Chains A and B, each alone.
Chain A
Amino acid sequence: MSFLQFLHEYDTSLLIALAEHVRMIAIALAIATLAGVPLGVWGARNRRAGGIVLAFANVIQTIPSIALFGLMIPVLALVNRGIGTFPAIIALVLYALLPIIRNTMVSLLAIPHATLDAARGLGMTEGEIFRHVMLPLALPGIVSGIRIAATMSVGVAAVAAFIGAGGMGHFILRGIQTTWPMMTIAGAVGNALLALIVELLLEWVERALTPRGVRIGAERSA
C-alpha cells in the first residue's frame, strides 16, 4: 500500500484525529491563557508572588510529559476521569502555563520605568496605565508566550494518546504497536504540519498586534 493509498483509506479517521487534536489544544490553551495571563500580571506587580508562581510552573515543566499523563490517572481516577481527553487537557494546561506566565511577566517588566513614571505623572489612573500603556506594549510578548505554548502543546498532545485521549498520537501509537511504520509516519507528519501551521498563524497574530511605533523602533535598533 502506498502512502497516498493509506491516506485515502484512512482519510476520515485522520481528520477525526486531527479534529480531536486541535480541540484538545484549543481548549487547553484557552484555559492556560485565561489563567496564565492574570497570573503573569500578578507576578509582575508582586515580585515575590511572581517568583513562587514561576517556580511552580517551572517544576511542572521538568516533569516528562508521559509521566505527567501517568500521574493524572490515579489522581483523576478519584473523580472517575482518569483517562481520556479530560486528564489530557489538564496536563496540557499545566504545561502551557509556564511560557504564558513567564512571557506575560517578562513583557510587563520590560516596559521602561520612565514610560510608566511619565504615565503616572501625567495623571493616568492605575487602570488607565494598564489599559493604555502596559497592555498594548506587553501584548506582542504575551502572544509570543501563547505561541510557544501552542507549538509545544501540539507535540505534548500526541503523547496523550497513551491515556486514550485520541488525536494524532493515536496513529503514532497504533503504528508502533502494530509495527506498521506508515501509520506512525502519517501521525508524525500530521503532527509536524499542525505544529507548523499553529506557529505561522500565531506569529502572524503577534505581528498584527505589535503597535506600529514599537515595530518601527525594533527595525531601527536592528
Chain B
Amino acid sequence: MIAFTNVRKQYEEHAALNGVTLNVEEGTLCVLLGPSGCGKTTLLRTVNRLVEPTSGTITVNGRDIRNENPVELRRRIGYAIQSVGLFPHRTVAENIATTPDLLGMPRARVNARVDELLGMMKLDPARYRGRYPAELSGGEAQRVGVARALAADPPILLMDEPFGAVDPINRAAIRSEFLELQRRLRKTILFVSHDVQEAILLADRITLMRNGSIEQQGTPAEVVASPASPFVEEFFGGDRQMLLLETLRAADAATPAALHAGAPTIAESSSLRDALLRLLADGAPSVTVLDADGTALGGVTIDTIQRQLAARGEAQ
C-alpha cells in the first residue's frame, strides 16, 4: 500500500502539490488523472524519491520512505515512463535485466525472467531478446519499458503515461493486455494519465487532480456519475453518459427476462457501452452476455441500459 499524508511540494513561488492525502490500497490500480501541470507526475515521482516533498509523509507498505535509501527503494519499485527511456546501447534483454542485474540476481535466473516477461508482453523472446531499442516500433518499445519495470517483480509499480507514445490502435491493444496482466499479477499501481478512456478502463480508483490538489477520488463509476465540481464535470466532458456506461459491466446488469433467442452475444468482460454499441449496430432488441464457457448470463436491452443510467441520476 502507498499512503500519502498531507504531501506538499513547493518550487520557489509555485506550489506543485498542495497537501495531498491519498491511499492506494494493496493490489489496486489508482489512476492519477488531470490536465497537464496539475501535479500528477510530481506526486508519482515522490514515491520513489525522484522528487522530495517539502512536507508531508509518504509510506510504502507501512514504512516511511524518508528512512529508506533512495537507490534501494527504487530497486523495489517498478518505474515506467511515457518516453520509455530505454538505454539505446543495450539490447532489449539487457534493458529488461537492468534492475535484476543491479540487485545481483544470478545470470540464469535473469535470462529466464527476461524471456518470461517478453512472453507476458506478447513479444517473441527469440526474436526480440537481442534487438536494440532503435529496431523497435513505438508500441514494442513501450512493452519493453513495462517489462523492464516488472523485471524484479516489484509489488509496487509507478507508471507515468506508459502507453502515451503509441498510435491509438496499438494503445488500445496494449491497454487491454496490460489490464489482463494486472488482473493476474495484482500489483499496487500508481498510474498517471490525462486520458479519461484509459483511466476508466484501467482504474480501480480514479484520483482527479487540479492545481496540486485532489479534486475528487472514487471508483470510475462514482467519479463519472457524480462529479464533485463543475471542473470534474467539464473534465469528463459531454461524453459523460457514454463514459458512465463504460464503467458498468454488462454482466452485472443482464437479466434472464431480457434473454432473446438468436440475439447477438457479447463477452462477460464487456461494458454496457459495448452492449449499447452492439444493440445499435445489429438493430437487435437485446444482446446476450456469455461467460467464458459460453453460458448465457442474461440479456441486456435498451431498457436495461436506461434503468442503469437512471439509477445513477443520468437518465434524460
Compute how far the CA of A167 lies from the CA of B214 in the bound complex, rounded to whole angstroms.
73
Compute how far the CA of A133 lies from the CA of B86 in the bound complex, rounded to whole angstroms.
10
Say whether B79 faces chain A, with CB atoms less than 8 Å apart.
Answer: yes
Enumerate chain A residues within 8 angstroms of B83, measured Cβ to Cβ: 112, 114
Q: How many A-B residue pairs have CB under 8 A?
A: 82
Enumerate chain A residues within 8 angstroms of B114, measured Cβ to Cβ: none
Inter-chain contact B85/A117, CB cutoff 8 Å: yes
Inter-chain contact B79/A214, CB cutoff 8 Å: no
* Identity of the chain B residue whose Cβ is nearest the Cβ of A125 in the assembled complex: B71
Compute how far the CA of A132 lies from the CA of B79 in the bound complex, rounded to whole angstroms.
18
* Identity of the chain B residue whose Cβ is nearest the Cβ of A128 in the assembled complex: B102
Compute how far the CA of A220 lies from the CA of B83 in the bound complex, rounded to whole angstroms.
19
Say whether B81 faces chain A, with CB atoms less than 8 Å apart.
Answer: yes
Return the CB mask of B66-105 against A: 1 if under 8 Å, else 0: 0000011111000101011111111100000011001000
Enumerate chain A residues within 8 angstroms of B102, measured Cβ to Cβ: 122-124, 128
Compute how far the CA of A121 lies from the CA of B212 in the bound complex, rounded to whole angstroms.
22
Inter-chain contact B85/A112, CB cutoff 8 Å: yes
Say whether A131 faces chain B, with CB atoms less than 8 Å apart.
Answer: no
Inter-chain contact A120/B134, CB cutoff 8 Å: no
Say whether A115 faces chain B, with CB atoms less than 8 Å apart.
Answer: yes
Selected from B50, B88, B90, the residue in CB contact (under 8 A) with A217 is B88
Return the CB mask of A21-36 against B: 1 if under 8 Å, else 0: 0000000000000000
Return the CB mask of A97-140 against B: 1 if under 8 Å, else 0: 00000000000000010111111111111001000110011000
Interface size classification for chain A: 20 to 34
Selected from B81, B132, B149, the residue in CB contact (under 8 A) with A114 is B81
* Identity of the chain B residue whose Cβ is nearest the Cβ of A219 in the assembled complex: B134
Inter-chain contact A216/B134, CB cutoff 8 Å: yes
Selected from B71, B75, B99, B132, the residue in CB contact (under 8 A) with A213 is B132
* Identity of the chain B residue whose Cβ is nearest the Cβ of A137 in the assembled complex: B89
Inter-chain contact A123/B74, CB cutoff 8 Å: yes
| A193-222 residues at the B interface, CB under 8 angstroms | 211-214, 216-217, 220
Say whether B298 faces chain A, with CB atoms less than 8 Å apart.
Answer: no
Residue with the greatest number of chain A CB neighbours at <10 A, chosen from B132, B135, B145, B158: B132
Enumerate chain A residues within 8 angstroms of B91, measured Cβ to Cβ: 213
Say whether B205 faces chain A, with CB atoms less than 8 Å apart.
Answer: no
* Identity of the chain A residue whose Cβ is nearest the Cβ of B101 in the assembled complex: A132
Say whether B48 faces chain A, with CB atoms less than 8 Å apart.
Answer: yes
* Identity of the chain B residue whose Cβ is nearest the Cβ of A117 in the assembled complex: B85
Say whether B148 faces chain A, with CB atoms less than 8 Å apart.
Answer: yes
Inter-chain contact A121/B88, CB cutoff 8 Å: no
Whether A117 contacts B148 in the complex (CB less than 8 A), given A122-B99, A137-B88, comes out as no
Enumerate chain B residues within 8 angstroms of A121, measured Cβ to Cβ: 48, 50, 74, 79, 81, 158
Whether A115 contacts B88 in the complex (CB less than 8 A), given A122-B99, A124-B102, comes out as yes
Compute how far the CA of A123 lies from the CA of B89 in the bound complex, rounded to whole angstroms.
18
Enumerate chain A residues within 8 angstroms of B50, measured Cβ to Cβ: 117, 120-121
Return the CB mask of B218-236 against A: 1 if under 8 Å, else 0: 0000000000000000000
Compute how far the CA of A132 lies from the CA of B101 in the bound complex, rounded to whole angstroms.
12
Return the CB mask of A123-164 against B: 1 if under 8 Å, else 0: 111001000110011000000000000000000000000000
Enumerate chain A residues within 8 angstroms of B132, measured Cβ to Cβ: 212-213, 216-217
Residue with the greatest number of chain B CB neighbours at <10 A, chosen from A118, A119, A120: A118
Inter-chain contact A119/B87, CB cutoff 8 Å: yes
Residue with the greatest number of chain A CB neighbours at <10 A, chosen from B86, B88, B135: B88
Enumerate chain B residues within 8 angstroms of A112, measured Cβ to Cβ: 83, 85
Compute how far the CA of A128 lies from the CA of B79 in the bound complex, rounded to whole angstroms.
17
Q: A125-B71, A213-B89 are in contact. List 7 more A-B contacts (CB 8 A).
A: A121-B48, A122-B79, A123-B75, A212-B89, A213-B87, A217-B88, A220-B135
